[in-house]
Amino acid sequence: MEDKSGTLLEWVYPFAVFVCGGWVVWHMPAYLLDFIPPASQSLFDQMSQLHMRKDVTPNIPGLFGGFMDFIDWLTLLALPVFFFLGARNLQGAPMEYDDVRPIDRIALFFGRLTMIMIISMTMVMLWEVFLRYVVEAPTLWANELTLWIAGFVFLFSGLYAMQQRCHIRIFILYEVVPRWVQKIFDTISVALIVIFAFFLIFGSFKQVFVIKFYRWEMFGTAFDPPIPATIQPTILIVVSLIAIQAVINLIRDWNKAPMFKSPDEIDQEELEAIKRSVEAK
């Protein structure tokens, strides 16, 4: 991957994924009703009413006799395409981890998507401040929308941090032992992550996907976003991706030299990365 960033496509693809993903999430009742309709008539009616209440384009008829209109189909098909193109055309920033393989592009693109989300959150908060203190007409949705997006930012940034090896690590003991002992520590650490992810998914899969997601549980406020129905499944998905990325990092770094140096030793690679970052600005 080239050590270059700042092209227009690096903004276009994450923004397109953000917009398409937002549309798909907001119209998820239509997708559920068409693809996996509830067996219970009462739940089917409840989901139908929810879809009609939340549908952004209620005047557009559904295709193929279902609830999804052509915009729903278009965004659903465009979402993986934009994600693939964004990950494929992704270019590295000067301060990012330079040893990148194709599988790492998934986590890197989630990092780019997180940046778009942070910008969107900031714009929503600025808009709310303007309406509240200048126009004196606060919204019912800005605070909850910010909270909703922040949940995804927290989760996606964790996956990006794992790929970049920039998560918090206590290495007082790690840096004074031989490399073969460090490999044992790394293996134990990754094994604990995988075990935690397995039992988290195993213990909460039914509660999260059958109850929260499949019933599309809402937040129960005036804006009423589907925070429980989206954040909780995303936690399980991202935790599983973090566990997979941890295994990939372990394999990738197995034959590498120790990452940590003594405090008195100058890290020439980090200095060069800082210089490249300054020159890029």
Q: Which amino acid is at 223?
A: F
**Is the model's pLDDT at 1 over the cut of 60?**
no
What is the spatial distance between Cα 98 and Cα 229, in angstroms, rounded to a whole number? 36
Per-residue confidence (pLDDT) for residue 72, from 0 to 100: 96
pLDDT in tens, 30-75: 999 999 999 889 999 999 999 999 999 999 998 888 999 999 999 9
Which pLDDT belongs to residue 4?
52
For 154-210, the pLDDT digits (tens) are 999 999 999 988 877 777 888 888 889 989 999 999 999 999 999 999 999 999 999
Report residue 252 as tokens.
Answer: 């990738």
How high is the pLDDT of residue 280? 60
- The rounded distance, in Å, linking the Cα atoms of 31 and 24 is 8
275 Cβ contact list (under 8 Å, min separation 6): none
- Report the range of poorest mean pLDDT among 53-57, 77-81, 218-222, 270-274: 270-274
The domain limits of the chain are: 1-92
Q: How far apart are the C-alpha atoms of 127 and 139, rounded to whole Å?
A: 9
Mean of the per-residue pLDDT values of the chain: 88
Q: What percent of the chain has pLDDT over 90?
A: 67
Q: How far apart are CA 52 and CA 235, in angstroms?
A: 28
* Amino acid 159: pLDDT: 94
Contact between 232 and 239 under an 8 Å Cβ cutoff? The reply is no
Asked if residues 94 and 6 have their Cβ atoms less than 8 Å apart, the reply is: no
Q: Supply 185's token pair.
A: 């520590």
